A = this chain, B = another copy of it.
């Protein structure tokens, strides 16, 4: 029997306890032995809840108990998660975590400690919640040079953009709705500014390149500037606006970007709506692949955390190798990537064509004083140079 300690009894933590309980028998079959939750670390008490008998308030109880071989970190944030996880690994206990902030910052160090001790540090749910993308990159796509990873990695913003599209609603209104539904937090900054998606694409780019990507270096734009009018333009072009986290291999190296992008029906992520997430991957041999599922939510995320535990139990004396060295990956300028650009501008057509040459115009009924413009494909550096010739640009949105 494997004894587990759970750090944090919030949404994901309580989900892990629930999955372990509901699917006890099938999990024991897959893991080859029974899994038992021994401790739950939380500052709070839960009187009346059966979990109360497992609650401890002192981490020393867990880290010093030789019976505990697996620690599940579900607290979130960098501290004290980092200290607790590192101490667990140093004490020879394998760790499963859902904490993207922890993994984006300290991934290579924690992976190295686990490798040195022949134990495991798994973090499937740090990106894509219930979608098995980390394990897929680590164990399934190993024969490929991955040339492109593009994901809808944040459920809150995808829900908001879906509502804005379906209801022709403005950002502020759908944000209130999302908060009322529990899909957005009281302080939605990390989601709507793209910071959450940024950490996740940093993790994926690190895994794809095998080197450490500093998330602070990734150009990140959120969806706070997206208006109902932008979505009307997108609709007129038979496109939708999605917050994409994109990483691609160019001749100058990997470049990464988080930004709202207009995508067409042909794009594999076009139909990913509501709180769902999906990750598109292009390999030089595999071609296109796409992985879709619940990117967040208590039970889907907890299910994937428990799958990490099962993998840890199946590899009790065998480190599952993860290629992510602490060596920093210098990112190429994201403006080297080539795509089309959409802009709304009050410039006259002659000026637009002087700047961009042949373009497609998009005019919305009832909208005057501006025109929508869809450029040809070019690098973003080229776009910037050309756009400098115009004075009336109100908005630029990338197009794929």
User: What is the interface of chain A, defined by CB distance below 8 A to chain B?
Assistant: 19, 22-23, 26-27, 29-32, 124, 130-132, 135-136, 139-145, 210, 268, 270-271, 283-294, 297, 299-300, 302-307, 309-311, 314-315, 318, 320-321, 323
Contact = CB atoms under 8 A, between A and B. Distances in A.
B300 A287 contact: yes
30 contacts: A19-B285, A22-B284, A23-B284, A27-B142, A27-B143, A29-B323, A30-B142, A130-B286, A132-B141, A135-B140, A136-B140, A139-B139, A139-B311, A142-B310, A143-B307, A143-B310, A144-B307, A283-B303, A285-B299, A285-B302, A286-B299, A286-B300, A286-B303, A287-B294, A287-B297, A287-B299, A289-B294, A291-B291, A292-B292, A315-B318
Most chain B beta-carbon contacts within 10 A, residue among A130, A294, A315, A318: A130
A29 to B, nearest CB: 7
Given A23-B284, A139-B314, 20 more contacts: A29-B323, A132-B136, A132-B140, A139-B139, A140-B304, A140-B307, A142-B306, A143-B305, A143-B310, A270-B271, A283-B303, A285-B306, A286-B293, A286-B294, A286-B303, A286-B304, A287-B297, A290-B293, A314-B320, A315-B318
A311 B266 CA distance: 33
A346 to B, nearest CB: 38
Contacts of A210: 29
A30 B135 CA distance: 13
Nearest to A288: B293
Contacts of A268: 292
A290 B135 CA distance: 15
* Prevailing SS type, chain A contact patch: mixed
Nearest to A134: B140
Most chain B beta-carbon contacts within 10 A, residue among A144, A268, A318: A144
Contacts of A307: 139-144
Most chain B beta-carbon contacts within 10 A, residue among A124, A285, A300: A285
Contacts of A27: 142-143
Most chain B beta-carbon contacts within 10 A, residue among A140, A143, A300, A307: A143
A289 B131 contact: yes
Contacts of A311: 139, 142
A315 B315 CA distance: 10
Nearest to A302: B285
Contacts of A144: 23, 26, 303, 307
A204 to B, nearest CB: 16
A309 B306 CA distance: 27
A287 B297 CA distance: 10
A285 B29 CA distance: 17
Given A19-B285, A268-B292, A314 B303 contact: no
A61 to B, nearest CB: 26
A103 B169 CA distance: 52
B130 A289 contact: yes
Contacts of A321: 32, 314
A143 B293 contact: no
| 3 pairs of A and B residues whose beta carbons are closest in the complex | A143-B306, A132-B140, A289-B293
Contacts of A142: 27, 30-31, 306-307, 310-311
A124 B140 contact: yes
B323 A285 contact: no
